[in-house]
């Protein structure tokens, strides 16, 4: 399956959530709504739909949490950038087993949850894959996510007005990265470049925008 079809959400990192929301609204004409906080992980987020079951997660440090145990170092990101993404699955246990059979070094499924701004509980399970391709805060290797049956997908309540048209990657080791995606059962558009970038082309209320 192509990455464009398979991805669940994009992670758009920034050191200050309000600045990230304003930045995205200025360029897209859509204002993201508060999602919630990730307890114990030191982050909070705001969301907007990218069409279908896809969404953009603007993620930033949560000033109310004094300690963090999350995978993202966001304090140094004065300007927002795409730092990672998630791929959806309907059965995280089967996905984890498939990754192991393909000799992909993946962690066991881990539970996650957060409260929405309205107080509803969202639950999911995720599998993180070992990556040797990251650069700074940017990791082009996705993690896999399965949303609980009793949890509404975040895209259903996120503001619309944007639709993703293309999702591709740039990396100095493009061939190796492509092979890693094939091992995960994913077909990714990857071009050779000096810098590591995740690139999303989005049609917005203000025209076509490239997020990197």
pLDDT (tens digit per residue) in 63-120 = 998 776 666 779 889 899 999 999 999 999 999 999 999 999 999 999 999 998 888 8
CA angle, residues 41, 126, 183, in degrees to nearest 5: 125
Query: How far is 26 from 33, CA to CA, in rounded Å?
Result: 14
What's the structural domain count of the chain? 1
CATH code, 146: 3.10.180.10
Q: How far is CA 182 from CA 2, 4, 65, 117, 172, in A?
A: 10, 14, 38, 38, 18
Query: How far is 164 from 148, CA to CA, in rounded Å?
Result: 24
pLDDT tens-place string over residues 106-160: 999 999 999 988 888 999 999 999 999 999 999 999 999 999 999 999 999 999 9
| Domain of 130, in residue numbers | 3-211
């Amino acid at each position: 399956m192509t990455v464009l079809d398979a991805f669940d959400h994009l992670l758009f990192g920034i050191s200050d959530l309000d600045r990230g929301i304003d930045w995205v609204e200025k360029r897209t004409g859509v204002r993201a709504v508060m999602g919630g906080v990730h307890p114990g992980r030191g982050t909070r987020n705001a969301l907007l739909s990218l069409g279908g079951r896809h969404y953009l997660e603007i993620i930033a440090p949560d000033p109310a949490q004094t300690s963090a145990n999350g995978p993202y170092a966001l304090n140094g990101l004065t300007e927002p950038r795409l730092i990672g993404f998630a791929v959806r699955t309907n059965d995280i246990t089967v996905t984890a087993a498939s990754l192991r059979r393909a000799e992909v070094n993946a962690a066991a499924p881990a539970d996650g949850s957060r409260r929405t701004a309205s107080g509803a509980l969202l639950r999911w399970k995720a599998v993180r894959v070992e990556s040797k391709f990251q650069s700074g805060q940017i990791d082009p290797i996705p993690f896999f996510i399965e949303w609980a049956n009793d949890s509404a997908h975040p895209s259903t309540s996120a503001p619309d007005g944007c639709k993703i048209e293309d999702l591709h990657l740039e990396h100095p080791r493009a061939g190796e990265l492509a092979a890693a995606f094939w091992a995960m059962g994913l077909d990714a558009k990857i071009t050779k470049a000096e810098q590591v970038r995740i690139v999303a082309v989005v049609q917005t209320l203000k025209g076509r925008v490239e997020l990197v």
